[in-house]
Structure 1
């Protein structure tokens, strides 16, 4: 799907305020409500807009620690990769898992209440992941910048 500038404006506004009414959105992007609604429907149907979510404040939920874990597997055989990916997707504290090029095979973004809570996650889940040869954990000291908005 080819995006024009109006589509991009709609996407930028919706990334910032996804619960905005169609009337408010159409006013913000300077488009009639019916035309705006049609464009949003088209963006949804094409999969460009994948979903609408509520972004929660991790600190207010008591999840003040962010840990990045680099994982190296003992082999990159397809069945090992698949088993690892299936198992790691079931760990509730893992927010992201990326297959990497470079020294580590995967990098995980994990939230925890504290270092003690991360030790529990490590013991209960990470050490039991299939195919893991090595792990290296790095604790974020402070989040300098964070966004979910894509540059459109």
Structure 2
């Protein structure tokens, strides 16, 4: 699907403020409410706009520690990958799961209330995951830039 300047304006405003009403979105994009609604529906149907969601600041809720864990799996068992992913989905403190091609197979982002809590998660939940050949831990110190927006 081709998008035009009106679609780009609507998407830019939605990225900046996802909770805008259709009326406010239309006013900011310089179109009528009916046009904005039709365009947004067309973008949804085309799979370009997949949804609008809340972004939670976990630190504001008392989750002070974030760790990125990189896993290399023991792939001698053909079910290793699927079994690892099934098990890791059961760990509620895992907020992101990514898979890769290369030396690292899987990366997880794990949050914890504090270092003691993280140690419990690591010892009781992470180290018990199946098919781990190697783990590398990276402690998040600060996030300099995090964006989901594109230059549209």
TM-score by structure 2 length? 0.90
Count of paired positions: 152
**2:133 match: secondary structure:** strand
CA deviation profile, 1:93-115 (whole Å, cap 9, x unmatched): 11211111232111111111122
- For residues 47 and 64 of structure 1, do their structure 2 counterparts lie closer, same or farther at Cα, with a shift above 3 Å needed? same
**What is the deviation of 1:8?**
1.9
Q: Which runs of 5+ in 1 are unaligned?
A: none
- For residues 54 and 124 of structure 1, do their structure 2 counterparts lie closer, same or farther at Cα, with a shift above 3 Å needed? same
Q: Distance in 2 between the 1:88 and 1:68 partners?
A: 14
User: What is aligned with 1:27?
Assistant: 27
CA deviation profile, 1:7-63 (whole Å, cap 9, x unmatched): 122112112211101111011111111111000111122222212211111111111
User: What is aligned with 1:129?
Assistant: 129
Runs of 4+ more than 4 Å apart: none
User: What is aligned with 1:91?
Assistant: 91
**What is the deviation of 1:138?**
0.9
**What is the deviation of 1:83?**
1.2
User: What is aligned with 2:3?
Assistant: 3
**What is the deviation of 1:2?**
2.2
The alignment yields a C-alpha RMSD, in angstroms, of: 1.6
**What is the deviation of 1:76?**
6.7
User: What is aligned with 1:147?
Assistant: 147
TM-score by structure 1 length? 0.90
Q: Which runs of 5+ in 2 are unaligned?
A: none
